[in-house]
Amino acid sequence: MEHLLRRAIRGEDDHLLDLGCGDGTWLLRALQAHDGVTAVGVDISGAGFDHVLGEAARLGLGDRLELRRQDVAEYRSVRKADLVLSVGSAYAYGGLLPTLNAAREHLAEDGMLLLGDCFWEHEPDAAVRAQQESGPQKYADLPTTVAQVVADGWTPVYGYTSTIAEWDEYEWCWTGTLAQWALDNPGHPGSDLALRMSAEHRDSWLGGYRGFLGFVVLLLRRTPAPVKA
Ligand SMILES: C[S@@+](CC[C@H](N)C(=O)[O-])C[C@H]1O[C@@H](n2cnc3c(N)ncnc32)[C@H](O)[C@@H]1O
């Protein structure tokens, strides 16, 4: 994550916009590493905002970070961003291409886009594909995914493909944290549901898309129009 941000942030006073920012951790890391950078994060959930904003205040970075609880489709930027992030959030716009269009609207002239999305590392069987593509998002293999992005007018200047160990860590962390909370709070009205959700997700991952679904983060710049002869 840090090495991607290092490549993506080019000016000490860059402005960042994270569309579907989760709790805002990526932005907090960016502010910690770059003194003059400012950032806005937008997420429909708002879960974890208080914690991250508290951390930002504790570190003296509070005046450079804004986290907004809002649907990204409704967000209009006041200031164009030097770097737009959309990491694991393309479904918020209904897929890859609508996300690229939205990012374009928010980007400064020579801005960069850090786009993280899934792709099929190996061809899944029909059941696994149907499970992962039940919403508006459809995935392709990595060359096709990158070709779609390029055809939309972007040039990748860097990319990072998650390893299976990183996927495993991510999945164990979130299913495990949910299970841990349920076991620690047996009397809570939500604990049975939490335990069930954790187990269902773990099963659908281990018995389904593990090893088939990949995740790539692309650092993109707009491809200039060809110079007319
Ligand atoms: C997989 S998480 C990724 C979070 C973060 N980008 C990260 O890398 O940790 C997807 C995020 O998109 C947010 N999201 C989904 N639909 C959204 C919408 N319509 N508007 C804003 N945020 C949305 C979810 O609340 C969730 O936090």
CA–CA separation, 142 and 73 (whole Å): 27
Quick check: CB of 21 below 6 Å from ligand 1? yes
Distance 11 CA to ligand 1 centre (A): 26
Whether 143 and 35 map to the same domain: the answer is yes
**Ligand 1, atom nearest to 23 Cα:** 27
Residue 152 within a domain: yes
pLDDT in tens, 123-177: 999 999 999 999 889 999 999 999 999 999 999 999 999 999 999 999 999 999 9
pLDDT in tens, 63-99: 999 999 999 999 999 999 999 999 999 999 999 999 9
Residue 227 within a domain: no
Q: What is the pLDDT of residue 227?
A: 84
Q: How confident is the model at residue 192 (pLDDT cuts 50, 70, 90)?
A: very high
Residue 229 within a domain: no
Residue 111 within a domain: yes
Distance 103 CA to ligand 1 centre (A): 15
Residue 127 within a domain: yes
The count of structural domains within the chain is 2
Residue 179 belongs to domain spanning: 167-206
Residue 229: pLDDT over 80: no
Residue 86 within a domain: yes
C-alpha dihedral sign at 49, 78, 39, 91: positive
